[in-house]
Structure 1
Amino acid sequence: MEKSVRTVKDYLHYLQTKGFRIREDAVGFIYFGKNYTNASDELTNTAIELTIKAQKEFDGSFYISLLETLIANKIKNRHEAIQFVKENHLIVI
């Protein structure tokens, strides 16, 4: 993911331009998770990115769990999220 913060919609479009397809029901799930956790676009995009890296595809339950964990631990941005998952051995990146 590029350094600039983009909207979730923009990030999903970016993934499409890179050849990664996310089904329409998964897109709805992404927005549900964002709204459910009240996550920022940056944190939502990071959770999408980390989910894809860990699962090699978009896994909705993994995404929601990861997003909830990041919010519960007061993670605010991409840098903090990556540091958190590395330090807690949540995923290998």
Structure 2
Amino acid sequence: MFGTVSEYVDHLISKGFVLGDDANGFIAFGQQYTDTLDEVVIIAIELTLKIQKEFDGSFFISLLENFKSEKINNRKQALRFIESLHLI
């Protein structure tokens, strides 16, 4: 689907999503802070937008931290985890 976080963000922008000036900073910081692969960061961005209805940097970072602690490495695991928390 998308190879990099940058490609995914560009896709969102092309579809009309407004991420705000601080979003790229939160995304880059979160990825480095949690040492997370692009695939999982993309999933976290997508879920943040679906759950929060906008990009919420602190929610995104928290989601990445939870994914890291739960050893979530793919979309299926991420969705199962989010559903177990009754967030979607």
**Which of 77, 84, 88 is matched with 1:87 structurally?**
84
Alignment of 1:1-93 (within 5 A): 4-89=1-86, 91-92=87-88
Q: Which one-letter code corresponds to 2:9 in the other structure?
A: L
Identity of aligned residues (%): 50
Query: How far apart, in 2, do the equivalents of 1:88 and 1:21 lie?
Result: 27
For residue 27 of structure 2, give the secondary structure of its aligned residue in structure 1: helix
Rounded to whole Å, the distance in 2 between the matches of 1:71 and 1:79 is: 15
Unaligned runs of 5+ in 1: none
Matched AA of 2:16: G
Name the TM-score, length of structure 1 as normaliser. Answer: 0.89
Distance in 2 between residues matched to 1:88 and 1:52, nearest whole Å: 16
Runs ≥4 residues deviating over 4 A: none
Figure out how many residues of one structure are paired with residues of the other and give that number. Answer: 88
Q: What is the CA RMSD across the aligned residues, in angstroms?
A: 1.0
Partner Cα distance (1:74, 1:5) in 2? 21
TM-score by length of 2: 0.93
